[in-house]
Structure 1
Amino acid sequence: MNAGSVEVGMKVRYTRTGTTGRVIALQENEGETFAELDSTHLFYRVDQLVPADKAGKAREANEKGNLEKIKEEREYYSGTAFQEAVSHSDQSCEGGG
């Protein structure tokens, strides 16, 4: 985000750590603009922040992808190929050598 698009009261997210909060203050320091978030009371460079609604959509899409992976794994482990492989193992966990 650029400095002009950030306003006090806006909900934003710092993408590097996932910290989300509302901007409670803006401050200029050595030509950079920083925003203080209410959740941590720390200052973050505004060019490192994204609107929180965009970040939420990305997280939601990622969660859907994770659910699909879980469904695929459940199908695999309940399938006959995996069950047959387990039945042919004596499960002794022997290492060679």
Structure 2
Amino acid sequence: MILEMLSKRIGPDEITYNSLISCLCRDGMVDEAIELLVDMGRSRIQPTVVSYNIVLLGLCKVHRIDDAIEVLAAVVEKGCRPNETSFD
């Protein structure tokens, strides 16, 4: 979808990325969601705590707790402050 938007010269924003990441996580496609999160970081749109929380929830839903802990550590390392939702 991102490629289709770009081909039409429509730049995705934070809401677009977060929506797609959420849909991927909901469907159990967490690795693809993480790839999109990385792609988001490469663009001019930096992931926010909301973006990371979506991925953290997705990882927890598929019982990848160790991966969730790694993502949380990366979030803190990047200077993004976790919030209450990050720990729910």
Which of the five TM-score ranges fits, normalised by the shorter chain? under 0.3
Structure that is richer in helix per residue: 2
- For normalisation by structure 1, the TM-score amounts to 0.22
Question: Which structure exhibits the higher relative contact order, with contacts defined as CA atoms closer than 8 Å and separated by 6 or more residues?
Answer: 2
- For normalisation by structure 2, the TM-score amounts to 0.23
